């Protein structure tokens, strides 16, 4: 952490916000730092008034009685109120006369015409596959799928699992669940069958919506096959899957289980397009989203309806300067499988009636300029992506964005991990042409939406800092005793009071919720618990936050959150592995890479006549990919005779991190096996 502090301490560049005259402002836009400070102050002093006004932007089935009831760690926002999220993202716009406006713009992978993709054989025409979906159509499709799901026995409160490629039907599936009051649990399409089993079981989900496949870099990703594999395992458990709804996307051949499997098009055929939006109690669950923590098992973060919707609606509007009906096109490049996609592909953007662009495929197929081609053709006004992508673009070269007209861009956003000042500057210069504010948004799956971020018309920015807290967010850098750290001193990032978008729990695990977030930090005077983010940060003399990264066993690989224990569990499930320790290591593109230290079972090695060689490294790496998904594949597998442990038997992770980073050289380094005994002895029990 000290290195990070030093490098960011040297950063002294400041970029002014965009002058008010250059951005169109609505009532909710913030056009000066003073105005931001005033609004922020009010949001903390008068949360009832502030959030009441923010909530009034949406349309309610029944108005709330009380804005907030707080008994730590349980928050009840907008109690007594009833609202439907799908209604506010879709039907409301139709009722207001905007049914013919485009709600979703979709870019399929080029050359992925169902009949002519290289992956499905035959000839293909190099063409873009595009769809524009109007609110009226989205309303009809969510209604039809909603009715189809009801027909399969899905009831209010049930959890529907969604495992789909980035096609508009993914958004329709999400909104159809919200429409009928079922909670959705979206699983990122890159996860392996085992991950599906874990999540479906934990959520007691009985219906899965998937597709025959999705296109990525000219290949078909076989989603249905993964679901089949997962269902096979689930069939041996009490949580059998009743129905699998399959969207035909690629035309690839799929195995079929009659009775269980239903084609999407068959399910909605004949389904009525009248399906009223279920009025949901404010605190009814809207969705579950599984994310990594410090144990081997991912946790199901629970978000509820009203608070989440109000929070994503407001944060999307003020952070990205969204104004409906002004020709804006918002593009968040994240997959809907992550929280960024939930909040800023779907709920935050659609509830503001600004068209949301989604794309299928990869940034480097068919060419390294895919993003810039999309920005130029659609006249994208706000682009929201991850530092890891920006670093990759830098590596690919300036000529790719330079070839395209990026003049439509007004606001650039980043999310997922700390952005290094070099990448910030490149984004600002080469993508934003020096004229677009860069909003470095800090938040988490648990926070629902942005909690620390610049506002484009108000906040002077500093490359590498996520700047100042969102309205309603009382963020602070504190020590273990909950005392605020002096400026420029590193500490733990806490949020000292509730906000509408905060998680309401971990599904089925109250203990983990209380322990993980609400037990470590508290107000030194009153003992009132603070929300613990598990991130380290510092605050500079201007009150700007600089997030340094996780202080728990979670690593951020290309902006994707992974638990080191999850990767370790996957490794030790290999028959030859005796023990494994996984740590993060600095990685030029990914931010953090995965380094796995592994000790093999001598008996297995002997019986299989194996040596600790490159082939074995590859095998272990593939094994992790097979167990969790490609994103979890270690960048480095290092064999060790034994893992370094303290006398009490704890793995010396700090030592391993230093070795992985090359900070600490281990002695007696042989070509294949690492021997930590000397360093470990020198370090003694310090971990």
Footprint on this chain of ligand PRX (rule: CB under 6 A): 291, 339-340, 415-418, 440-445, 466, 533, 535, 547, 549-550, 556, 561
Q: How far is CA 643 from the centre of its chain?
A: 33
Give the burial string for 265-297 (b: 16+ CB within 10 Å, else e): eebbeebeeebebbbbbbbbbbbbbbbbbbebb
Specify the residue, 222 or 440, whose C-beta has the smaller distance to ligand PRX. 440
Q: How far is CA 219 from the centre of its chain?
A: 24
Cβ of residue 566: shortest distance to ligand PRX, in angstroms? 13
Specify the residue, 209 or 503, whose C-beta has the smaller distance to ligand PRX. 503
Cβ of residue 446: shortest distance to ligand PRX, in angstroms? 7
Cβ of residue 195: shortest distance to ligand PRX, in angstroms? 15
Three-state DSSP at 79 gives: strand
Specify the residue, 466 or 565, whose C-beta has the smaller distance to ligand PRX. 466
Specify the residue, 425 or 680, whose C-beta has the smaller distance to ligand PRX. 425
Specify the residue, 415 or 580, whose C-beta has the smaller distance to ligand PRX. 415
Specify the residue, 631 or 637, whose C-beta has the smaller distance to ligand PRX. 631
Give the burial string for 144-162 (b: 16+ CB within 10 Å, else e): bbbbbbbeeebeeebbbbb
Question: How many Å apart are CA 111 and CA 362, to the nearest integer?
Answer: 13
- Full DSSP string of 271-313: --S--PPPPEETTSEEEEEEE--SSSS-EEEEEEHHHHHHHHH
Cβ of residue 449: shortest distance to ligand PRX, in angstroms? 9
Question: How many Å apart are CA 322 and CA 348, to the nearest integer?
Answer: 10
Q: What are phi and psi of 290, to 5 degrees?
A: -80, 135
Residue with tokens 């873009």: 128
- The residue of the chain with the least Cβ separation from ligand PRX equals 445
Cβ of residue 382: shortest distance to ligand PRX, in angstroms? 16
Question: How many Å apart are CA 582 and CA 434, to the nearest integer?
Answer: 40
Question: How many Å apart are CA 456 and CA 383, to the nearest integer?
Answer: 13
Cβ of residue 292: shortest distance to ligand PRX, in angstroms? 8
Specify the residue, 108 or 293, whose C-beta has the smaller distance to ligand PRX. 293
Cβ of residue 144: shortest distance to ligand PRX, in angstroms? 32
Helices (H), 161-254: 168-180, 193-203, 223-234
Give the torsion sign (CA, 73, 77, 81, 87): negative
Cβ of residue 453: shortest distance to ligand PRX, in angstroms? 8
Q: What are phi and psi of 138, to 5 degrees?
A: -65, -40
Instruction: Tell which residue, 444, 463, 465, 445, has the closest CA to residue 453.
Output: 465
Helices (H), 419-506: 421-426
Helices (H), 500-563: 510-518
Specify the residue, 319 or 533, whose C-beta has the smaller distance to ligand PRX. 533
Specify the residue, 363 or 448, whose C-beta has the smaller distance to ligand PRX. 448
Cβ of residue 333: shortest distance to ligand PRX, in angstroms? 12
Specify the residue, 392 or 441, whose C-beta has the smaller distance to ligand PRX. 441
Three-state DSSP at 546 gives: strand
Cβ of residue 606: shortest distance to ligand PRX, in angstroms? 42
Token readout for 242 is: 């009743």
């Amino acid at each position: 952490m000290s290195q990070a502090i030093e490098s960011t301490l040297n950063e002294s560049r400041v970029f002014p916000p965009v002058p008010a005259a250059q951005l169109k402002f609505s009532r909710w836009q913030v056009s000066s730092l003073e105005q931001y400070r005033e609004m922020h102050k009010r949001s903390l002093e008068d949360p009832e008034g502030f959030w009441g006004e923010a909530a009034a932007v949406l349309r309610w089935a029944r108005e709330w009685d009380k804005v907030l009831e707080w008994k730590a760690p349980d928050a009840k926002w907008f109690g007594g109120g009833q609202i439907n999220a799908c209604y506010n993202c879709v039907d409301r716009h139709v009722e207001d006369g905007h049914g013919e406006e485009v709600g979703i713009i979709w870019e399929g992978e080029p050359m992925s015409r169902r009949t002519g993709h290289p992956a499905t054989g035959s000839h293909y025409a190099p063409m873009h596959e595009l769809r524009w979906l109007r609110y009226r159509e989205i309303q009809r499709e969510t209604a039809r799928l909603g009715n189809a799901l009801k027909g399969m026995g899905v009831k209010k409160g049930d959890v529907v699992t969604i495992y789909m490629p980035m096609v508009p039907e993914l958004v329709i599936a999400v909104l159809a669940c919200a429409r009928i009051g079922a909670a959705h649990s979206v699983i990122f399409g890159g996860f392996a069958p085992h991950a599906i089993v874990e999540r479906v079981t934990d959520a007691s989900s009985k219906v899965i919506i998937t597709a025959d496949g999705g296109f990525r870099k000219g290949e078909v990703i076989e989603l249905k096959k993964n679901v089949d594999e997962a269902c096979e395992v689930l069939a041996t458990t009490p949580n059998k899957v009743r129905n699998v709804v399959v969207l035909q996307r690629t035309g690839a051949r799929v195995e079929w289980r009659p009775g269980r499997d239903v084609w999407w098009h068959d399910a909605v055929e004949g389904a009525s397009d009248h399906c009223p939006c279920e009025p949901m109690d404010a605190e009814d669950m809207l969705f579950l989203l599984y994310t990594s923590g410090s144990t081997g098992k991912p946790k199901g973060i629970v978000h509820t309806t009203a608070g989440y919707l109000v929070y994503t609606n407001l944060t999307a509007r003020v952070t990205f300067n969204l104004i409906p009906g002004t020709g804006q096109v918002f593009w968040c490049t994240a997959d809907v499988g992550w929280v960024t996609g939930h909040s800023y592909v779907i709920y935050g953007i659609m509830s503001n009636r600004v068209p949301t662009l989604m794309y299928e495929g990869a940034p480097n197929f068919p060419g390294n300029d895919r993003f810039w081609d999309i920005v130029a053709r659609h006249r994208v006004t706000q682009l929201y992506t991850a530092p890891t992508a920006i670093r990759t673009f830098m590596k690919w070269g300036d000529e790719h964005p330079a070839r395209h007209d990026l003049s439509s861009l007004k606001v650039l956003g980043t999310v997922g991990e700390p952005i290094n000042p070099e990448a910030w500057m490149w984004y600002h210069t080469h993508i934003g042409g020096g004229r677009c504010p860069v909003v470095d948004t800090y938040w988490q799956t648990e926070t629902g939406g942005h909690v620390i971020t610049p506002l484009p018309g108000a906040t002077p920015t500093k490359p590498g800092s996520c700047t100042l807290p969102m309205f309603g967010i009382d963020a602070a850098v504190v020590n273990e005793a909950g005392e605020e750290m002096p400026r420029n001193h590193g500490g733990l990032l806490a949020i000292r009071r509730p906000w509408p978008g905060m998680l309401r729990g971990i599904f089925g695990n109250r203990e983990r919720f209380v322990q993980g977030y609400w037990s470590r930090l508290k107000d030194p005077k009153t003992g009132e618990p603070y929300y613990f983010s598990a991130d380290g940060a510092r605050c500079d003399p201007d009150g700007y936050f600089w997030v340094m990264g996780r202080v728990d066993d979670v690593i951020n690989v290309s902006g994707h959150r992974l638990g080191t224990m999850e990767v370790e569990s996957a490794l030790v499930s290999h028959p030859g592995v005796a023990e494994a320790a996984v740590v993060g290591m600095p990685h030029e593109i990914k931010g953090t890479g995965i380094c796995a230290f592994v000790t093999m079972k001598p008996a297995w090695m002997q019986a299989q006549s194996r040596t600790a060689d490159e082939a074995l490294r590859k095998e272990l790496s593939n094994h992790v990919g097979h167990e969790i998904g490609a994103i979890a594949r270690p960048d480095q597998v290092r064999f060790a005779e034994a893992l370094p442990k303290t006398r009490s038997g704890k793995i010396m992770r700090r030592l391993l991190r230093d070795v992985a980073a090359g900070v600490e050289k281990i002695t007696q380094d042989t070509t294949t096996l690492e021997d930590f005994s000397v360093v470990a002895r020198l370090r003694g029990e310090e971990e």
